[in-house]
Amino acid sequence: MNVVVIVTVAHHASDGELALTPVHGEALLTHTVRGLLGVPEIDLVLVAAPQRCASLFSEALRVFEQRGLPCRVVPGSLREAFATVEPDLARDTVVLLHDALRAFIPAETVRGVLNAVGDSPVVVPVLPMADTVKVTDSSLIVGTEDRTRLRTAQTPIGYTLEAFLAASPWDTTGAALVDGHPDAMRVTTEFELSLAEAIAAAPKNEETL
C-alpha cells in the first residue's frame, strides 16, 4: 500500500498566510509537514500552494527538500497537486487530505485513519462535542441539539484511491469515524497559537526531522 498526503489551505482565502505564521521559530506549515514526514507509512507529502504563496511555501519546506525527504510543493489546487502523481499511483494507494493549519496531528491518529481505510473507503478522525449546542431562530434560542450525536471533524481524511477520485473535496458524508486528538486543532486564533507554541516547545520522546 502506498500513502500519499495532500496538504492544502483550501478553506479560507487567508489560510495561506496563516500557514506561514511563525510558531517556535518556524512556519506553522513546516511543523505540519514535519509531523507527516515522521510517519513511516507515508510515502509522499504533496503541498498544494496558493499561487501567491508558492515561493514562501517552498522556502518554508526547503529544509526537507535539502535532506531528500519525500515532500513537494505544487502551486495550485489540491486536484492539480494530485494530478502530478496520479498516473504513477497503484490501485491500492491511500490518499490522505490534510489541513495545513492542523500542524500537530499525532502519528497514532494518522495511523488510525490509515488502518481504518481498509474497512471503509472514507475515514475521518473526530472528537466528541464538549459544548452545548443551541438552535436559534434569529435572536431567540428555539432548541438544544443532542450533543451525544455530534462530533467535531479533523484531518487527515483518508480515502481509497477510487473514493478520492469520485469525491468532492472535503465531502465526508457516509465516512467512517476514528478517534481524533486535541492536539490536532486548527491553529487560527491567538489562543490557538499560544497552545501551538507550547506543543512545539514541549520535549519530544522521539527524534524529529
Q: 190-201 and 28-37 are packed helices; what angle lies between their axes, rounded to 10 degrees?
A: 50
Tell me, what amino acid is at 102? R
Q: What is the pLDDT of residue 198?
A: 94
pLDDT of 207 > 60? The answer is no
Confidence bin at 156 (pLDDT 50/70/90): very high
- Which pairing describes strands 122-128 and 157-160: parallel, antiparallel, or unpaired? antiparallel
pTM: 0.92
Q: What pLDDT, on the 0 to 100 scale, is given for residue 205?
A: 61
User: Before 40, cis peptide (omega within 30)?
Assistant: no
25: left (phi over 0), alpha (psi -120 to 50) or beta: left
| Confidence class for position 3, pLDDT limits 50, 70, 90 | very high
CATH superfamily ID and name for 3-124+151-201: Spore Coat Polysaccharide Biosynthesis Protein SpsA; Chain A (3.90.550.10)
Residue 67 pLDDT > 90? yes
CA dist., res. 166 & res. 158, Å (int): 13
Which sequence spans correspond to the domains of the chain? Answer: 3-124+151-201
Residue type (1 letter), 148: T
Tell me which of 48-62, 84-98, 140-154, 171-185 is least confident: 140-154
Q: Which residues pair with residue 22 across a beta bridge?
A: 27
Q: How confident is the model at residue 206 (pLDDT cuts 50, 70, 90)?
A: low
Would you state the pLDDT for residue 33?
97
Work out the pLDDT band at 81, boundaries 50, 70, 90: very high
